[in-house]
Structure formats: C-alpha cells, structure tokens
Amino acid sequence: MFKKILIANRGEIACRVIKTARKMGILTVAVYSEADKDALHVDLADEAVCIGPAASKESYLVADKIIAACKQTGAEAVHPGYGFLSENSEFSRRLEEEGVKFIGPKHYSSSKMGDKIESKKLALEARVNTIPGYNEAISGPDEAVKIAQGIGYPVMIKASAGGGGKGLRVAFNDKEAHEGFSSCVNEAKNAFGDDRVFIEKYVLEPRHIEIQLIGDSFGNYVYLNERDCSIQRRHQKVIEEAPSPFVDPAMRKAMGEQAVALARAVNYESAGTVEFVVGADKSFYFLEMNTRLQVEHPVTELITGVDLVELMIRVAYGEKLPITQADVQLNGWSMECRINAEDPFRGFLPSTGRLVKFQPPMETTDANGTTRVDTGVYDGGEISMFYDSMIAKLIVHAKDRNAAIERMRDALNGFVIRGISSNIPFQAALMQHKRFQSGNFNTGFIAEEYPTGFDASMVPHDDPALLVSVAAYVYRSFTDRSASITGQLHGHERLVSDRWMVVRLDAAGNQHHPVTARLVAGGYDIEYHGKHYELRSNWKLGESLFVGTCNGLEFTLQVERHKTKYSLFHWGTRADFMVMSARAAELLALMPEKQAPDLSKFLMSPMPGLLREVAVKVGQEVKAGEKLAVIEAMKMENILKADQDCKVKKISAAAGESLMVDQIIIEFE
C-alpha cells in the first residue's frame, strides 16, 4: 500500500481523506494557500506545503505547484477530492508522467467523461438514455439564443467543465438565454479555466437522481445504489438522501446497469457518479458523469457500509474491488444537509468572517442510527471569501426515512454556529415541510414553495409554549444565581419572585406572556396559560446548548444572551425574549421604537466580494429589473438589479475593487 499520499484540496474533503488515510496507516501531505495557513486540514495532515496566494487560480488550481509538492515530500499518490483539479485530465496525465499515482480515473477516462459534450456522445454510443440538446461548444450569446429557440424553452445552459452548480443557468426566454450564456462563460472561466458552454432541453418537474459506482483495473464494476439530490437551490444541492423515495428496485437496477455500461465504455477506474434527470413517469436521461468523489458520498457510505475513499485508494494502488454487485447492501436511510455560510434571511447571500463559535452536534452511533459531521473548520476559524460557502456536512442514518428526518431535526437543533450566518434555519424548515416529508418533490421544490424567498415567518414553531417556558427557565437561573451572591446584608437579601412576564420581541410587536416559574430539584416548574410544564435540565449559565426534558420528553435548543435579552433557536426558529416584572413590561410598551434609516437611494454590497462590473453610468436612467452591478463571492457571480425605476447620481466603487458588506456602490437621485 502507499506509504504517503498528498491531498490536492482543502476544507472538509481534505479532512475526510486524511481520516481514511490515517485509518489505513498512510501518511498524508496537505497543500494550502496563504489564506489557509491556519486551516484544519493543515493541522490534521502529517506534513503541509504552502502553494501560493489565496486565489485558487494561483494555488489550488496550479498543477505545477501540486507536482512540486509531491516531489518535495515524496508523496506516491495524489487524492484530488472534488472541485479544483479533481476532473482535470491534463493534471492526472502529468502526474502519471511524473510517476505519481492519481487516486481517481485514468486521464483518458476523465477526459472523455469529465467533458459534458464528449460524455453525452459516448452515452449515446453506449445506449444510455440521453436528453435532447445541442452538444457542440457555442461561440457566443447570440448563437446561444438561436439554439435555445430551436430546442424550445426552457433550456439549460451549462459549462462543459462545470460542476457544483457553477457555470449553469436555466433560461425561459431569449433575454435569460443571452444573459445566462455570458454568466456561464465567466463563471466557468474563473472556476475551471474552460469557458466552453452547451445547451440542452430542461425537463420540467425533474428529479435529480445519481448512481454511485466504482471500478477497478481488472474490469470489475459495482454500482452502490442511488442518491436523490432533487432538493436544490439555484442548481446547487441542499439536501441529499439515499436511497431515493421515488426509485423502485427495477428502476434502480436499470439505472445502475446503464451507469456501469457507460463506465465500462471508457475503462473507468475509481469512484464515479452518473447523474440522471428523472421525469414524473420514471423515465430517466443521462445528465453527466462526475469523474471524482461527490460531496454527498457519505449517504452512500452509510447505507452500504462501504468507505468510498478507502476503495478509491485501494483501486489506485492496483488492488481488485473487494465486493461484487451481490454484496452491495441497502441498509436503512441516510440523509445529508449541506451547512453553508450564507444568510437565508437575506436571499442566501454569502456570509464570511470569524466563526466566533462552532459547536457541531456530537458524532454518535447508537441503536437508532448514526449522526456524522464532515467539516474542515473549527471554533475560532475563519470563513474566507475566496472559496466555496460550505462549512460542514451534517449526515444522519436511521432505520427509515421518517426516522432519518427526525434524527436530522434533532442534529440541526444542536448545531451551534455564531459569528457568521448559516443556512441551518432553512434546512430545519425543509425538514419540517410536509411536502418534503411526503417525498413528493422535484428539483423545483424550493422555487415552488419559497417563490419570494425565505423569511422567519416560514419557520413556524408548533410549540411556542416550550419557547416561553425555556425563556422563563434561563432568566430564573440567572436571577437565582444573582440572588445567591454572598455578603448580602442580613434581613435585606434579594428576594426572587415566581411571577414574571415573558416578552417575545418580533416584527409583529411585543407579545406578553405571564408565567409562574418555581424552582424545584433538577429544574423549574413553569405554569403558562393554566398548563404546567416540568422543565428539567443540567444546563448552566453561559452554555449555548440547552438539553433537557419538558414533561418527560427530551428536547435540545440553543440559548444566546445579549445583555437583557435572550435568543432561543429551535427547529429553525429564532425567538427573542426579555423577561421582567409585569410593571416593567407595562413601561417597556411605552418606549418608542427607533426607526431604521432610509437606504432606498443606495445600492449597497449585500456581501463581501469582488466588484466585477458596474453596468451603469452617472446620469443614466435605469428601469426596474435592469442590471446595476456584478459581484463575485465564493466563486459565484451575483447580479444586482434595480428594484425600481431610478437615475444614477454617483458611482462610489470601481470594477476590480474588493467590497465590504453594506459598502455603497451606487447612489441614486
């Protein structure tokens, strides 16, 4: 077996590979950019080599620097993870020439299958179901519009070297086709160094279902069941699960055999994923092949009991697959939530900065299932604007789909992130959505269910009494500790009342909830609206996680104190409270609210990022919906448009400038 391998990646996937390598007794080498010098993968690896500045194109995308690091450290093989150079056939070919093994497919296989245009032609030859489209590279936006008209809207515009939702747009008309082509070209060039774009028919109400497979150098192949990745936002996967609630055994077999036929056609070695778009009638069409390890591979590992990274390493070393198709299990149900650094309440804009607190749920395996966290960050670490937005992957496994959803809800409740925004509230809302729970969804689910975006009102809490009771509990804990301070004047000790007013602060106005909170052994008894709530917990002041029971039923929520206010986080809901006497609550109601300033005459940067383009000039009349500026952050282009008719008075930032959040770009008259 290899004695030392280099991981040509960063973040959670680098850490994931290091864990398996360590289990196999293999030494690891990390590479890192200047921005990642304090990253977790650097700390976990046995050795680490700096390969350049923060920008990917000057570090993680430079093959020469990776190869030099191999020579410097004596690494015998390279695991590329996903993204960056993982599907770059020229990189794997050069490694082969240097005598370094590539832990992935041979360059001739990835060259054919990693190129979406070429792979579609091969799929046709291998008798794999394919979707109608134009499979040649397109010269410009005008040609893209003509091709789209010929195929018929809606169409999908895709970068040939794209992946992870980058370099992909859906167009429903000529204008969207024109703009979408330009954005795809720019994103693909920046992310992958390949600006070729093609177009294919967009299947309405589609599901995104993919087959995981692996092959060795002896011609052996197995497919490891399917994953359903239909819950997507802007074509980026949000939740993945295995198996799919839509796939039956006959369909699984047919899709798996077509995936293997495609892999066999190019002598594919290593792990790979064949993605299909699936119609409501269970017809399926080849979408693309990812010639690398997928982000969502853990859900397959948990239902099959297979370590995919280990198999990749063994196959690359020249070993035979240790399993046959008959050995592949389908045990229980697994689900993965991608925890991203983005603000779901501000249009999912990227959120960067310091992780003031990062406390993921404990990784456990018990009689009811497994909770797993794959991450590349740590408490106090930094989320950079230079790379993608993923903070962690939260994965659960249980006996069936309902149990997996329940376990995921509990895990999300216990995932503490402070300092930056995350999409945990959105993930929690999805877990509670009746349509998601039913399994009746497609890739349009999020757009259909949240057409105007996402806000706090879309995360209803079905037990508000629990939140009120816990607010009373944490405040009583604080006041009881204050009352127990030593040195109080005899006869004048502080007396703490049992009667309080819990004031919930929200956009609808302050809501007053009278409660009685009595101290008992192990917690407090709360009386609220004539009902009794026995809260028992070992929670201590200052702890972020409140784990306890309410009337004997276990629950977990998060607590955060802001001077006189408390924030509770549960099931994706954030509830802000103040607890005080009834008289203080009366006086609070008389206090005037501070009005927010009018910022409608400014276009401000909604995120930290690079200002790629300012599309208007001083004095220009702008109509609602017109493009104003383009900001690049976390490898994605974000187009800012006018939300009303206006006239440009002043431009305060220039293209190429690095922007801070809320920095003024344009002022209007």
Residues catalogued as catalytic: 288
Alpha-carbon gap, residue 410 to 299, rounded angstroms: 18
Tally of CB atoms within 10 A around 448: 12
The answer for residues whose C-beta is within 8 angstroms of residue 390's C-beta and 6 or more apart is: 11, 12, 295, 338, 339, 340, 341
Half-sphere exposure of 579 (CA within 13 A, CB side): 27
Alpha-carbon gap, residue 456 to 363, rounded angstroms: 29
Alpha-carbon gap, residue 179 to 169, rounded angstroms: 9
Q: Are 165 and 234 in contact (CB under 8 A)?
A: yes
Q: Are 476 and 496 in contact (CB under 8 A)?
A: yes
Q: Are 361 and 411 in contact (CB under 8 A)?
A: yes
Look up residue 13 and give its DSSP letter. H
In degrees, rounded to 5, the angle at the alpha carbon of residue 460 between the alpha carbons of residues 454 and 464 is: 145
How buried is 619 (Cβ within 10 angstroms: 0-12 exposed, 13-18 middle, 19+ buried)? Answer: exposed
Alpha-carbon gap, residue 136 to 505, rounded angstroms: 57
As a residue count, the chain comes to: 669
DSSP letters along 140-167, please?
A: -HHHHHHHHHHH-SSEEEEEEEEETTEE
The answer for residues whose C-beta is within 8 angstroms of residue 234's C-beta and 6 or more apart is: 165
In degrees, rounded to 5, the angle at the alpha carbon of residue 130 between the alpha carbons of residues 126 and 136 is: 95
Alpha-carbon gap, residue 180 to 265, rounded angstroms: 33
Alpha-carbon gap, residue 213 to 574, rounded angstroms: 41
Alpha-carbon gap, residue 416 to 373, rounded angstroms: 13
